[in-house]
Structures are given as structure tokens and as C-alpha cells.
Amino acid sequence: MSRVDAALPVVEQSQAPADTAAATAEDSSDAVSAEASNPSGESTATAKATESTEQIDTEALKTELRKAADELKELQGETPLMSPVVDSQAIAEVISGWTGIPVGKMVADEILAIMKLEETLGERVLGQDHALLEISERIKTSRARLTDPKRPIGVFLLVGTSGVGKTETALALAETLYGGEKNLISINMSEYQEAHTVSSLKGSPPGYVGYGEGGVLTEAVRRKPYSVVLLDEVEKAHPDVMELFYQVFDKGVLEDGEGREIDFKNCIILLTSNVATDLIMSLNADPETRPDPKGLEEAIRPELVKAFKPALLGRMVTVPYYPISDDVLKEIVKLQLGKIERRIANNHDAKFTYDESVVDTVASRCTDVDSGARNVINILMGTLLPEMSGEVLSRMATGEGISKAHVSVGDDENFVYEIS
């Protein structure tokens, strides 16, 4: 009991900020509601004065309402504790919690999101415009209800070297169409190189060990029927395992180990493969003679037939990905530095800047062509951020905090940090 009694003040103290935030949010929300519910222009505090002689300044009250709404929005941030009004978004979020259907699927903005899908994906996946166009057009056609309703929204085989944006495409689709990256079901198919492993995907049949536990794939889709399914390194899976997907691609359903039909009709299925990597690199070695997307697909077709049965290839849309060029690599560096900038602004309320030489230096250190854009993240996480963290932690330890952080490159090609 003494340990419990000693821990109580700590728990109460840690709970205090959340309670304070909730109380402040409620007060701000009440202020917005009170102002908004008085269209005649009279506030509660001035009602008596109005009844006597004074006329309320309507514009002043509107200004006060906008100010209260802005304060509430700033206080709540990205995850508001409450909403001043019960609108369509609030209702959609409640229903989403009940049904598992993402919010984006239940509001009118979903159509607009699909219409701008290629543009939205292009903000995260760079240098693969042809692939994003192909995927976007197929999804638009499905959403317009012009395709077979029994099949999944789309089934795509993304072929290319490592680090060119295949996995990032899956993450971007989940974020844009299904309300967040949490609605991405990712399965590493290199773990299914034996024929008997098919049971772990769909669940064990009655009488076998693991019956009733559900399969890795079927249980995930049953819980999240609206999701992106990513089957990574699919060429490494056993052919018998891949035959499991024929029914999924054709009819949009898969029977699990307990005999239940799992619905895949609301899923986007992406399969990634590193087949024909050497051929893709050689064909794109010279930018002047680089083939167009259709030509690249035809060139790698013989290699794909060696790895996959023609019947399986015929059920998928093959989308080749180009290797990352130097110009695209620099844009990816800027994209990752932008994420660091937002992180510092959100966590430290500080400004982050960098010289153009930082972009060139990071790009020049990406010498492993087989890793593609993953090199950028490795360099930033392995050098720039750890070196910055020492100075930031030193200032935090003394209670100084930071207001600005700038990164440049010194004469020795190492990063130089100016933190204040």
C-alpha cells in the first residue's frame, strides 16, 4: 500500500495537464457555442444593457466569435477533444469507430480526393508520375462504378529496384483514401517460401494447431475491410501460396480457415517485386535512351514470366518504377528535410533552415544505387539528426530551449550546426 500511496501524487500530477487542457477546451468551446447561438447579435453579458438603452455592435461580436474560434482551434491542435458543433465530420468519426469504415469513405470530400489522387500522391512519391497516373486512373474508374463490382478496387504489381517509392505509394494511398497509414496491411511475402505456410495467411482448418486464431491476412482484412493490402517481395513466396490469391483477384473474397468469406472488394492490393532489377538499371543507365513506361514493361515481361505464372500476371496491372535520378534524389532530400522542419516546429516551436549545400552533400553521399531513396533517410538519421540532438539536449537540460536551428556544410564536408 505504501508504494501505491507514494505513486498517487505522481499520477495525479501527470493527469493535471490533460484535465486542464480538457477544461480549457470546454470553456473555449462553450464560448464559441454561446456566441454562435446568438444570431441576433446579443451576448449574454450585454443582454440587460441592450434591453435598457444600448445597441450591441454586431461586427464586434462577430470579431469576438472568430477570435474565440481561432483560440479553440489553436488549443485543440490536430486532435481536438471536442467540437463546438455536431457537424457531418463529428458524426462520421463516431460511425467510423463503430463500423471500421474510414472517415474519408463517408464524407463528400472522398470524391474530390479521388479526383485529385494523382496530384496528392505526387506530393509524397517523386519521379514516378507514370506509375501514379496508372494507379490513379484505375482507382477512378472503379470509384465511378464502371468496373466489375465483385473484384477489389485495384490489383497492381509494382516492379522496380529498392527505394524507388513502391512502399511509399502504398502508404500514400492509405493516407489519402482510407484515413491514415494505420489502414495499411503489410505482409512480407519472403516469410512464406514453404507451401505449408499458406495456412498462416488464411488460418488453420479444423483439427489443426492454430484453428480459431484467424489468418494473418484474412483476420487483418476482416477487421479492416477498407484498407490497402501490401504484399512485399512477392516473388519470394512459394507458388502454392500465390495461388491463394487467384480467388481474391477474381472474385474479391477469400475463405478463411473457419469457412468464413472475407471480403476484399473494398481493398486496394499492391504487390511489390525486385524482379528484373539488373535489367531495369541497365535500360535506364542513360537518360537519353531511357524507355517509356510501356516499353519498360514490355522489356521486363520475359523476366516476370519466369518468376510468376502467366495466369497470375494476367490478373494484375504491372506498373514498372524507374530508378531514382540525381535530380529526383535531391527533391527527396528536400522532402525529408521538410519533415524535419515540421517536426522541430511542432515539438520545439522553433524554426529550422538549411543551406542548399546540405541537399547536395546528402545526395552525393547516396552512393548505394540498390538502396535508392532509403539512403537519404539513413544519412539523415545516422549523421545529421544525432549530431543536432546533442546540442538540443544540452539546451533543454539547462532550460534554455531553442528558437532557431540552421544547418550548413563546412570546408571538410561535414555538417555545421547553429542552434540558438
> 89-115: per-residue pLDDT in tens?
777 777 777 766 666 555 557 788 899
* Whole-prediction pTM: 0.74
| CATH number of this structure's domain 116-320 | 3.40.50.300
Between CA 173 and CA 180, with CA 178 as vertex, the angle to 5 degrees is 80
Residue 43 zone, left/alpha/beta (φ > 0; ψ -120 to 50; rest): beta
Task: Give pLDDT tens digits for 52-100.
Answer: 445 567 888 888 888 888 887 777 766 666 677 777 677 777 777 776 6
Q: How many CB atoms lie within 10 A of CB 267?
A: 24
What pLDDT is stored for residue 3 in this prediction? 44
Q: What is d(CA 124, CA 127) in angstroms, rounded to the nearest whole number? A: 10
What pLDDT is stored for residue 77 in this prediction? 66
Q: Any residues with CB less than 8 A from the CB of 20 and at least 6 apart, and which?
A: none
Residue 122 has pLDDT above 70, yes or no: yes
Lowest-confidence pick of 127-136, 363-372, 406-415: 363-372
Q: What is d(CA 158, CA 269) in angstroms, rounded to the nearest whole number? A: 10
Q: How many CB atoms lie within 10 A of CB 389?
A: 11
What pLDDT is stored for residue 23 in this prediction? 52
**Grid cell locating 4:** 501505491
Q: What is d(CA 26, CA 71) in angstroms, rounded to the nearest whole number? A: 12
Alpha helices in 231-355 (DSSP H): 239-242, 245-251, 277-283, 293-307, 310-313, 326-348
Contact (CB, 8 A) for 256 and 215: yes
What pLDDT is stored for residue 9 in this prediction? 45
**Grid cell locating 356:** 542548399
Q: Percent of the chain beyond pLDDT 90?
A: 51
Where, residue-wise, is CATH 3.40.50.300 in the chain? 116-320
Where, residue-wise, is CATH 1.10.8.60 in the chain? 326-419
Q: Which whole-number Å values give the CA distances from 245 to 191, 237, 305, in the listed order?
A: 16, 12, 17
Residue count of the chain: 420
Residue 1 has pLDDT above 60, yes or no: no
| CATH number of this structure's domain 326-419 | 1.10.8.60
What pLDDT is stored for residue 103 in this prediction? 62
CA count, 13 A, side-chain hemisphere, 77: 7
Contact (CB, 8 A) for 168 and 125: yes
Q: Which whole-number Å values give the CA distances from 135 to 172, 232, 244, 280, in the listed order?
A: 12, 17, 23, 20
Q: Any residues with CB less than 8 A from the CB of 309 and at least 6 apart, and which?
A: 239, 242
Angle between helices 58-76 and 2-36 in degrees, nearest 10: 150
The three-state secondary structure class of 184 is: strand
Q: What is d(CA 296, CA 236) in angstroms, rounded to the nearest whole number? A: 22
Candidates 366, 367, 350; CA nearest to 406 is 350
**Grid cell locating 374:** 532509403
